[in-house]
Structures are given as C-alpha cells and as structure tokens.
Amino acid sequence: MINCPECGSGGLCVKYYKVVIHNFDVLVTGDISQPLRDAEVIVSENGVITFIGSADGVDFSDAQVVIDAKNSTVLPGLIDNHTHPAMSEYSPRSGNHNWIWHSLQGGVTSMISAGEVHVPGLPTDRVGTIAMAIASQRSYMNLRPSGVKMEAGAPLLNDDFTKEDFKMMALQGIRHLGEVGIGPVKSAERAAEQVRLARQEGIVSITHTGGPSIAASQRMGAEEVLEIQPDIVGHINGGYTALAPSAIRCLCEGCLGALEIVHNGNELAAITTLNYARELGQLSRIVLGTDSPAGCGVPAMGLLRTIALLSSFGGVPPEVAICFATGNTAKVRKLNRGILAIGKESDILIACPPLGGTRATVLSSLEYGDLPSISAILIDGRIVQRQSKNSPPPSIVPDIKVAMG
C-alpha cells in the first residue's frame, strides 16, 4: 500500500483509491522491448500502477473497484502524438464541439499538441505567441476535457525568440514546440538554431514534413528537416501530402529523431516508412498521431485504425504496433505513462474482439485489420468510460464491481 498523496495516510481514507484488474488473457505492455507480459492481475493505487503479477496474495477487499476482465485484453491508453487543439473541446477547424470525447471513445487517453494553429486570431508576435502557449497549457492543465490528458501549449517558432524566452517558457511548463515549418519562421537555418535552444531547456520539437497543409505552412523537404534535426519528424507520411520514397528513406537514415506516422496522411507512405524503419532495426523510433482536427475531420478511431493498418498491411506484430502509439511516444515526449509497469500512471484500456468478428482475440483482430471493442477506459486508475460509444460492440463484457461508501 502507498501513502495517500493528499493526507499522507498509509491506510484507507476518502482520497485513497485502489483498482484491481484481473482475469485477462493478454497483457500488452506498450514497451517495445517486451510488448507482452505474463500476469494475472494489475493493481493501481492513487492513479499509479503498484503491482503486476500473480493473483496470489493480492488483497481485493480494500479496492474501490474490482474489474473481472473475463479473458479480455489489457493494454495502455493510447497517446495521440499529433493534435491541434484550440480551447477545451471546441475545434473551429472541424466545427466540432466534442472532438476530444470522440477520440477518448477510440482509446485515446493522452494527446500532444503540435501547435494551437486553429485558434481564431492566433497571435504571431513574440509576446502574443508566448502568452497563447502558456494560456493553453494552463487551460488544459486545469480542466481535462472528457478526462483526457492534453499536453497543450505548443508555440510556433518566432524569429524574435531568444534563449531567455525558451528558458522562461520551460519554467512555465511549456514542454513541446508547435510544428516547425508552420508560422513566421521560414528559414531552416533559423529554425534549426531555435530548435537547439529549445532542446537545451528540455522542450521537444516536431517538424511539419511534406507539402503544405494550411496557408500558414510551407513545404518541408528532406533537406530542410535534416538541417533542423528535430526530436520528431512530424507526419513523415504527409499531412496531407507526402515526400517521395527516396526522401522518406533519407530522413529515416539521416535524422536521429522519432518517425511520426499519422492517420490523416498517405497510407502508402506510412507503409514505406515502416519498411525502412524495420530494415534499419529501428521500430522503436516510430510514433503515431492523427494530425487532427484537420480538413479530414476528427478520426475518432484514428490511432486504432493506424495500428490495424501497420499490423495488417505492414506485417508488424500487433503488440508491437500498439507500442508505436503508447510507450514509444511516451519515451520521446518524456511522459510517465504509455507503458504498463510499476510506477507508471494508470491509463489503461480493456478491449475484446468485436462482436461478429472472424478472429478470436484482440491481437489477431488487429492483424486481420479489424478494430477491437473497447469495453473500459481508465485514466489515472479511474473509470472514465465503461463501453466505448464509437468502437464496435463487444464480444465480452467485463464485470466491474464498485465498492459502496
């Protein structure tokens, strides 16, 4: 048992919250070095995983929630590495008032902003850009829409930014840049300089890659991205428009950053990127995003569909493809989640094969290209959704018991 972070008590109190999940058939860890793990039970206390292993000796009696998974599959909550929020759930780009809720139904428990580029009247001056980033970061930190963890406040680069600006932004909680290649900075040399300054303060960078997507963006070819050397090569499969296969290969070989594949991109280029990364023995570099909301709308099941694409057409084991949208992303984004391991945040999905499907397990369904049914979603160990409203109907319904009082 761990101490309650609110009152310091080592025993039960009104703040203490324990969840036990047991009787699952497969545990997908999200850790690409060990995607599958033998276990019978997961214990979460106060939003953190405290035990994974045998059910022998585990005390169920003091748990607020006990979930009998009924031989379902347990996996980490998905992390969307590429979103463009505005404020709260509203997206002026797609005219959608609850896009984050819809993404939650697709198993997304965390989102990363690649820039709040669709905010009406988005400031482009130095002070306004910094203020907008901090305001966005504070807004989503103070109130999680639909319970989803939104890592927002991703400023677009500005020609007037200084080393002191990046230091100040980092102190204010800014941890991610908006897409490099969108916004006022047009010179790859100047962008590379600013990315280096941001990295010194622990701020993670991502580039726009490929053809322009909105009026404020520009074409970013392999030459520009290689000069910038970002932490993440954003939508390497295009957002929407991809580079040539030779340029994609050049980036896979010449850039040390993560390789982001997005749902709202070129599917053939996605498989091309996957094949190059596999050839290089570097599948640990692949991360997944949706690049939404966008002109393509909000793909609520976008991450699951991309996992299914890479597994079915790309031939990657589905448990490895799941790591692309969980542990791989958490590592490059410096998040304490995305992997089911002791000490990690308890963002967990329970899933089963879809009703009427031709495959008997979640993993074989993904390998075939079918999407699983998500039957429970937990964020910080608390149930935020019992049955997804957007995934297929379930073939298995877990038994969830909530303690009274």
**Residue in 257, 269, 253 with CA at minimum distance from that of residue 81:** 257
Whole-angstrom distance, CA of residue 303 vs CA of residue 206: 19
**Helix 267-279 crosses helix 245-254 at what angle (to 10 degrees)?**
40
pLDDT (tens place) for every residue of the chain, 405 residues total: 344 444 444 444 447 899 999 999 999 999 999 999 999 999 999 999 999 999 999 999 999 999 999 999 999 999 999 999 998 888 887 777 899 999 999 999 999 999 999 999 999 999 999 999 999 999 999 999 999 999 999 999 999 999 999 999 999 999 999 999 999 999 999 999 999 999 999 999 999 999 887 666 778 999 999 999 999 999 999 988 999 999 999 999 999 999 999 999 999 999 999 999 999 999 999 999 999 998 777 899 999 999 999 999 999 999 999 999 999 999 999 999 999 999 999 999 999 999 999 999 999 999 999 999 999 999 999 999 999 999 999 999 999 999 865
Identify the CATH number of the domain in which residue 138 sits.
3.20.20.140
Report the number of distinct structural domains present in the chain: 2
- 89 lies in the same domain as 153: yes
Looking at residue 404, what is its pLDDT? 65
- 37 lies in the same domain as 92: no
Residue 9: inside a domain = no
- 317 lies in the same domain as 397: no
- 320 lies in the same domain as 233: yes
- 170 lies in the same domain as 225: yes
Of 314, 333, 352, the last residue of a domain is: 333
Q: Is the peptide bond before 76 cis (omega within 30 degrees of 0)?
A: no
Its domain, for residue 89, covers 78-333
Residue 195: inside a domain = yes
- 281 lies in the same domain as 364: no
Looking at residue 153, what is its pLDDT? 97
Of 284, 310, 333, the last residue of a domain is: 333
Q: Is the peptide bond before 240 cis (omega within 30 degrees of 0)?
A: yes
- 42 lies in the same domain as 98: no
- 59 lies in the same domain as 101: no
Residue 397: inside a domain = yes
Instruction: Give the list of residues 6+ apart from residue 128 with CB closer than 8 angstroms, or none.
Output: none
Residue 189: inside a domain = yes
- 122 lies in the same domain as 54: no
> 390 phi and psi, to 5 degrees?
-115, -25
- 67 lies in the same domain as 200: no
What count of Cα atoms within 13 Å lies in the side-chain half-sphere of residue 2?
Answer: 19
Instruction: Give the list of residues 6+ apart from residue 71 with CB closer than 8 angstroms, or none.
Output: 23, 24, 25, 396
In the sheet with 65-68, reading across from the earlier edge strand, the strands are 48-53, 41-45, 18-22, 65-68, 399-402
Residue 4: inside a domain = no
Cross-strand partners of 286:
259
Looking at residue 92, what is its pLDDT? 82
Residue 343: inside a domain = yes
**Residue in 360, 346, 395 with CA at minimum distance from that of residue 49:** 346
Identify the CATH number of the domain in which residue 43 sits.
2.30.40.10
Residue 300: inside a domain = yes
Residue 316: inside a domain = yes
Of 333, 363, 386, the last residue of a domain is: 333
Looking at residue 286, what is its pLDDT? 98
What count of Cα atoms within 13 Å lies in the side-chain half-sphere of residue 269?
Answer: 27
- 128 lies in the same domain as 235: yes
The pTM (predicted TM-score) of the whole model is: 0.95
- 174 lies in the same domain as 25: no
**Residue in 34, 2, 28 with CA at minimum distance from that of residue 16:** 2
